[in-house]
Structure 1
Amino acid sequence: METEGTALRGRQETGELHPMYILMLSLHGLIRGHDLELGRDADTGGQTKYVVDLARALGERADVSRVDLVTRRVVDPAVSPDYAEAVEPLNAKARILRLDAGPEGYLPKEQLWDHLDGFVDNLTALLHEQGQWPDIIHSHYADAGYVGSRLANLIGVPLVHTGHSLGRDKRQRLLAAGLDSDQIDARYNMLRRIDAEETTLATAELVITSTHNEIEEQYGLYDYYLPERMRVIPPGTDLKQFHPPADDDPLPPFAEVVERFLDEPDKPLILALSRADHRKNIIALVEAYAESPRLRALANLLIVAGNRDDIRDLDEGARTVLTDILITIDAHDLYGQVALPKHHSADEVPEIYRLVARSGGVFINPALTEPFGLTLLEAAATGLPLVATENGGPVDIIGNCKNGLLVDPLDRTAIAEALLKILEDRETWTTYSQNGLAGVRRFYSWTSHAERYRALIGPLTELHEHIPDTPPMRRAMVYRDRALFTDLDQSLLGDPEGVEQFVAMMKRNKRCANFGIVTGRRLDSVLIELKRHGIPVPDVLITSLGTEIHYSGQLVLDDYWADHVDHLWSPRAVRRALAEIPGLVPQRKIEQSRFKISYHYDPTIAPSVEEISTLLRTRELSVNVIHAFGQFLDIVPIRASKGQAVRYVTHRFGIPLEHVLVVGGSGADEDMMRGNTLAVVVANRHHEELSQLADLDRIYFAEQAHAKGILEAIDHYDFFRSCRVPDPIPQPVAEPEPEAPA
């Protein structure tokens, strides 16, 4: 008789794999399945098209059961209502899911960071509700990497990551452009981005890049650099949409838009198509064109740089670029030779390429650096020869396809000469055109991308086990619909009268609420303190900074959680790495545990916490480094933290995080308090590491200290009744003072 296990082994031996559920994350920008608004802003560009096309291609495969592309839901009158729809099908097995995160309106990616924990919690709740965990999580860019890392470490699913662009590389370029570190961090939230990228690289089991240059030159800047986990899979091109012009094709309507700019519209066109971003280096192209009489005599210049109604209404970066282009056109009297259309749709882009190909023109990407260069593939698929920057992805594309020339984007003479070499020699033009058509089909189709992708992610799932759904505790605990978790020292303890009142409050409400302690102490130490202060053993004890979980008075160990956090844990390697670090002194054995290595930390002689984290990353150690009270440093597994443990427990209880009140005050508590939980910092801890969270709506800073501060928060949130964040108190509007008589 065949059992489930033997059937599975049989399928594995014959190479038959179960269809896979893939969860893709791409948070920022405006994502929909049609009429992509590419170039609308800096966040809606190549990544947007990449993730939609990849989701569709994977959804066409028989060995993929489902693809969910999850992004942020946007309800904003300034954008299409499409972005407010919770679900949008892409094909029979792929769809876009949109989840709330922070305010409803559209936000640039730099302003999303404080809302990502809420996004994680909303996504986890959705997955729990649908009753199916994904087989793979694939995050795109740093913000999604943060979300993907948190989710993967919580539910035990492999993480795949694609960076698209990287913070350390961008930071270097911005420093070279003259910005200082403080400006960069303030404008781009760069420190949070880079920290998220490091954590993502420590978590991800596979990093997919578009080029070898990306691995060597960009990921090589990171502490957690493991090239053996990185694979190049170039993006694909939709060959149904991007194809050469046919002889009998009518001119597209966009031709009329271009012709009205030009005195001699029959000349070949030089096309640059990108966002109006200084990094795209369009101004250097205009200057190269202006400074070459031969080029001006031979061809017209077509610049498609996003959409605009009024340049003055654009963001500062786009406004500056377009203004500089217009000034340069005027300075060199390029009127009648340069077309700069105000509008185009995503559906017109293939027609624009074909219009340029029909004219015998060239596509150019003069960017200072180009992580990949999707537009190069689109142009090549329509038969256009290429001129492109020698920095980044174009090196691989032109190297594979042999369909153009690479140039130094800072050398205007070289740009002009490369364009002339192709435009003045019809044989060269034809060779590059034909090579590009063949090369794109061979190297850059979405079908081949999806096949390679599926082959790489298949083995990742074999050693992973999802978190369980069934609770291991008394059934009475399961039916409680809310929970309170508090840190012990300096939060619950410190005021005996307050402790007595708190214990009485929890006893009165034990039918509806679970009670838990979340602490850095070991279990034996916690039990001693509870007995000393007359506190009954709670329903849940999360100890040693979230690395151990015990339930009820029987102190049942959650051995699944222990196995879960043991993933990639190498305590001996951690101790060796930190053995000779000045200012780090191991704490007593009673403070250590299986999954927690604890040190006294002297900031006057020890390296910074960031430097210690860097050291551990460069040793390829996947850990969380937790600094608390200014004097303690703890190292725990990457899957362990107070916040992750609380989310795991409440998931097993079936309690929504919106009905969970957490109490903390040190840096070790931050991830427990961010997101959808209700949180409180008691008065005696306002000055500590969490003071920077004071502006978050779901974190209450109590006026009273210790346990009485917790009771104050229970009242503030109406925790045992409505259990919600109270509405803000309307501020009175001051009456205008009457004007003095003249």
Structure 2
Amino acid sequence: MKSGNVALFNSPSQHLELRLTHQNMTVALKIALISIHGLFRGTAPELGRDADTGGQILYVLELAAALAERDDVEQVEIFTRRLEGAEIGSEYASPEEIISPKLKIVRLDCGTTRYLPKEQLWDYLDAFADHLVSYLHQQPRLPDVLHSHYADAGFVGVNVANRLALPLIHTGHSLGRVKSRRLLAVGATAAQLEHDYNMQRRIEAEETVLATADLIITSTHQEIEEQYGLYDHYLPEQMRVIAPGTDLKAFHPAEQAAKHIDSQLWGEFTKHLKYPDKPIILALSRPDRRKNITSLIEAYGQSTALQLQANLMIVAGNRDDIDDLDDAAREIFIEIFQFIDRYDLHGRVALPKHHGREQVPLIYRMVAATGGIFVNPALTEPFGLTLIEAAASGLPVVATEDGGPVDILANCRNGELIDPLEPTSITTALEKILADHDLWQSYRDAGLEGVKKYYSWQAHARQYVELLRDLPEPGQLRHKASTAQVQHRRAEKALVTDLDLSLIGDEAALQALLAMLHQHRHSTSFIIATGRRLDQALKLMKKHGIPEPDILITSSGTEVCYAPKLTTDVVWSRHIDHHWAPHKVREVLDQLPGLQRQPKEEQSRFKISYYFDPQKIEIERIKHLLHREELSVHVQVAFGQYLDILPQRASKGMAMRYVADRWQIPLEQIFVAGGSGADEDMMRGNTLAAVVANRHHEELSQLSAASDIYFAKSAYAAGIIEALEHYQFLESTARTPT
């Protein structure tokens, strides 16, 4: 028997615990990192060459280097594929690459030496696992821990850990269930997901890793709950947060501020500012609605004091002509220009058209040299890498209180958290820091210290080794999972409800309903369908403690977003844009008696909203005028006084049915609760439906003729609970006769 086989009869984790708790730490750790896809080399990695050779490669290399620097680590080995081919460098065929005395890359055969994308590797991973076990058996001793990166390495890690009785740590980097939602939102079909991404095999591998691994390492607490929480084998007890490190050699404060301020780049960035010497408020992100850039401009535009104190700079990707951008990005830029014009901010706002990734550290340093602030006003921010980069460059930060920034500011204490849905919250935080130089300096110093302590790779490695000291016995957490009766389930059903007249109104009943939904979250998706815009809906949900639903249908069915990142379904947007002519609609209706346009915050791209007085004009008259002008629109009235004009293909009911089809949830397994006329088309047809007792007047009375629609005796959320019990909806997947 090979010498390495001794590990089959002695618990490696017991041996590890004895060594790590020994006072003198006489024996150092041996760590095996598994990262299979992409091109791995230790010198000048080809980052950005393709989709597989990106951030994960750099993460693993920097983690390995930081671990190898430690005295309590004996050796770090990175296991990846051995590759051959004229299209790639010959170094990828080398079985070993020595990076440092304690760090090397080991390349093993993987069934084929061709360079394949990660989606095509699944049939070869068992061969890779066999070669890895064979290699480990030939070594003087087995590693103390395996650490797999991404689903493909997780598949291998489970195989090897089970065969050699080794502890397994896993980092997902991205997750299949989350990616599926994002791809469906941009037009992919379930068949395409399988054909292009082998998505089911990936998700099954991730489920197996979660059921097997002794420890899952994530970047934020939000990632644990909102991303891993989508999985059947979700077990938060086995998950720990260690933020990824930051390259402090690239991101650092300026040593000679004046030199950076005089740079050619700075002149290009500030050429449209009237007073370029003022401090800069910097936002740097993609042109994405979730980044909430317009709320920042609104906050700046509403504060004369802030305009006197500082300029605003928005670095939002690269553009030559906004007409060349995709629809979503173009819409964001149009709104940015509209807000700048509305608040007459010309000469106060810089909107650079181009920048390179290599210039970002310099941009941070230049802004810091002005005495500026970095702000991230995103609706939700899973991690917040830009906040760490800014802090490492000497910038105080103002950031959203939703997601990773909460962890970052708790550690660094270098700025202010804001409510991204309240522009006054952004204004107050920015004014506070800009008006107090001592506070600005203290936030700057705290950020520099905090990043070094918590967000350098050295800090990451220190926390990593500390976690290994407490690594549980193999299977200990998995036993907890089995006793909790974790089952492999899918979201087979969905509960859909409006906000204002259905979900909200009885706080005690609301919390009871939310607890029920949380208990059944694996089998029942939670969907909110509201007439409110996305930002207004999020604000109301936050006020009442309503968690982000799986799917959020807003603006009366014209917007569809998916958790956990509020990913907008652009396919739905394209679908309902058919024959939509909002300017013509306004021309027809704006001058009619009995109609008054609602405020701008109630309008959206696909929804034109009016206050409606039925005493002055009949709804049929409005429809007739629109049809006479050959306008294909959907007209709906809610609460007797709110008129919405939508594209012909849009409504809450149409959006709900679109989502049901995309997520393959049978309409018979969807429960809908409503209380106004705008909810009617969701409730007709094959769905299970309930009208709460507090419905608006008699708008839904005509539904009483439908025998399969339940009229609750209770109001608000209590009525929803009553109807759920009537249908026994959460107890059975079968439709219950009425």
> What is the distance in 2 between the residues matched to 1:568 and 1:400?
28
* Matched residue, 1:601: none
One-letter amino acid matched to 2:330: T
- Residue 433 (structure 1) aligned with residue 444 (structure 2): yes
1:428-482 residue CA offsets vs partner (Å, 9 max, x unmatched): 3223222222323333343232123123225759x78xxxxxxxxxxxxxxxxxx
Distance of aligned partners of 1:311 and 1:327 in 2 relative to their CA distance in 1, 3 Å threshold: closer
2:399–2:418 Cα contact (<8 Å) kept: yes
- Residue 135 (structure 1) aligned with residue 147 (structure 2): no
SS class of match (2:276)? coil
> What is the distance in 2 between the residues matched to 1:45 and 1:413?
38
SS class of match (1:138)? strand
* Matched residue, 2:352: 340
User: In structure 2, which of residues 161, 178, 181 is the aligned counterpart of residue 152 of structure 1?
Assistant: 161
> What is the distance in 2 between the residues matched to 1:181 and 1:172?
10
- Residue 323 (structure 1) aligned with residue 330 (structure 2): yes
Q: How does 1:622-661 map to 2 (within 5 A)?
A: none
* Matched residue, 1:373: 384
C-alpha displacement of 1:117: 3.9
Distance of aligned partners of 1:382 and 1:253 in 2 relative to their CA distance in 1, 3 Å threshold: same
Q: How does 1:678-693 map to 2 (within 5 A)?
A: none
> What is the distance in 1 between the residues matched to 2:91 and 2:335?
37
* Matched residue, 1:267: 278
1:150-194 residue CA offsets vs partner (Å, 9 max, x unmatched): 34334443210123444556667889x798984995687655444
> What is the distance in 2 between the residues matched to 1:233 and 1:200?
19
User: In structure 1, which of residues 238, 243, 246 is the aligned counterpart of residue 252 of structure 2?
Assistant: 243
Distance of aligned partners of 1:357 and 1:207 in 2 relative to their CA distance in 1, 3 Å threshold: same
User: In structure 1, which of residues 37, 55, 63 is the aligned counterpart of residue 64 of structure 2?
Assistant: 55
1:370–1:389 Cα contact (<8 Å) kept: yes
Distance of aligned partners of 1:92 and 1:268 in 2 relative to their CA distance in 1, 3 Å threshold: farther
1:562-605 residue CA offsets vs partner (Å, 9 max, x unmatched): xxxx99999xx89x999xxxxxxxxxxxxxxxxxxxxxxxxxxx
C-alpha displacement of 1:263: 5.1
% identity of equivalent residues: 50
Is there any run of 5+ residues in structure 2 with no aligned partner, and where?
488-519, 524-738
User: In structure 2, which of residues 114, 127, 138 is the aligned counterpart of residue 121 of structure 1?
Assistant: 127
- Residue 404 (structure 1) aligned with residue 404 (structure 2): no
- Residue 222 (structure 1) aligned with residue 228 (structure 2): no
1:70–1:98 Cα contact (<8 Å) kept: yes
Distance of aligned partners of 1:349 and 1:66 in 2 relative to their CA distance in 1, 3 Å threshold: farther
Q: How does 1:432-511 map to 2 (within 5 A)?
A: 432-457=443-468
2:85–2:114 Cα contact (<8 Å) kept: yes
1:71–1:97 Cα contact (<8 Å) kept: yes
C-alpha displacement of 1:242: 3.1
User: In structure 2, which of residues 204, 210, 213 is the aligned counterpart of residue 201 of structure 1?
Assistant: 210
One-letter amino acid matched to 1:116: W
C-alpha displacement of 1:375: 2.5
Distance of aligned partners of 1:158 and 1:277 in 2 relative to their CA distance in 1, 3 Å threshold: farther
C-alpha displacement of 1:201: 1.0
Q: How does 1:274-673 map to 2 (within 5 A)?
A: 274=285, 279-282=290-293, 285=296, 295=306, 298-304=309-315, 319-320=326-327, 322-331=329-338, 332=340, 337-346=349-358, 348-412=359-423, 414-457=425-468
> What is the distance in 1 between the residues matched to 2:315 and 2:39?
20
Distance of aligned partners of 1:190 and 1:403 in 2 relative to their CA distance in 1, 3 Å threshold: farther
C-alpha displacement of 1:56: 1.4
C-alpha displacement of 1:98: 6.6
> What is the distance in 1 between the residues matched to 2:100 and 2:322?
37
SS class of match (1:380)? helix
One-letter amino acid matched to 2:459: S
- Residue 68 (structure 1) aligned with residue 74 (structure 2): no
1:75–1:106 Cα contact (<8 Å) kept: no
> What is the distance in 2 between the residues matched to 1:189 and 1:292?
51
2:452–2:459 Cα contact (<8 Å) kept: no
> What is the distance in 1 between the residues matched to 2:238 and 2:452?
27
One-letter amino acid matched to 1:327: I
- Residue 24 (structure 1) aligned with residue 33 (structure 2): yes
Distance of aligned partners of 1:248 and 1:394 in 2 relative to their CA distance in 1, 3 Å threshold: closer
Distance of aligned partners of 1:569 and 1:11 in 2 relative to their CA distance in 1, 3 Å threshold: closer
CA RMSD, 1 decimal: 5.1
> What is the distance in 1 between the residues matched to 2:53 and 2:380?
18
1:288-308 residue CA offsets vs partner (Å, 9 max, x unmatched): 656766655654444455678
SS class of match (2:233)? coil
Mean CA deviation greater in 34-43 or 113-122 = 34-43
> What is the distance in 2 between the residues matched to 1:57 and 1:267?
40
C-alpha displacement of 1:204: 0.7
C-alpha displacement of 1:61: 1.4
Is there any run of 5+ residues in structure 1 with no aligned partner, and where?
465-565, 579-610, 615-742
> What is the distance in 2 between the residues matched to 1:350 and 1:387?
18
Distance of aligned partners of 1:226 and 1:258 in 2 relative to their CA distance in 1, 3 Å threshold: same
One-letter amino acid matched to 1:125: H
SS class of match (1:340)? coil
> What is the distance in 2 between the residues matched to 1:265 and 1:76?
53
Distance of aligned partners of 1:138 and 1:293 in 2 relative to their CA distance in 1, 3 Å threshold: farther
C-alpha displacement of 1:84: 5.8
> What is the distance in 1 between the residues matched to 2:415 and 2:42?
32
Distance of aligned partners of 1:209 and 1:289 in 2 relative to their CA distance in 1, 3 Å threshold: same
1:330-368 residue CA offsets vs partner (Å, 9 max, x unmatched): 44457763233534244x443332112111122223344
C-alpha displacement of 1:54: 1.4
> What is the distance in 1 between the residues matched to 2:44 and 2:360?
11
1:267–1:300 Cα contact (<8 Å) kept: yes
> What is the distance in 1 between the residues matched to 2:88 and 2:333?
30
> What is the distance in 2 between the residues matched to 1:37 and 1:366?
33
SS class of match (2:232)? coil
> What is the distance in 1 between the residues matched to 2:346 and 2:46?
28
C-alpha displacement of 1:402: 1.9
1:164–1:371 Cα contact (<8 Å) kept: no
1:116–1:147 Cα contact (<8 Å) kept: no
2:128–2:156 Cα contact (<8 Å) kept: no
> What is the distance in 1 between the residues matched to 2:49 and 2:330?
17
Distance of aligned partners of 1:191 and 1:155 in 2 relative to their CA distance in 1, 3 Å threshold: same
> What is the distance in 1 between the residues matched to 2:198 and 2:429?
38
SS class of match (1:376)? helix
1:73–1:83 Cα contact (<8 Å) kept: no
> TM-score, length-normalised on structure 1?
0.51
1:135–1:158 Cα contact (<8 Å) kept: yes
Distance of aligned partners of 1:411 and 1:164 in 2 relative to their CA distance in 1, 3 Å threshold: farther
1:12-60 residue CA offsets vs partner (Å, 9 max, x unmatched): 7555353333232345677766778888998777655433321211011
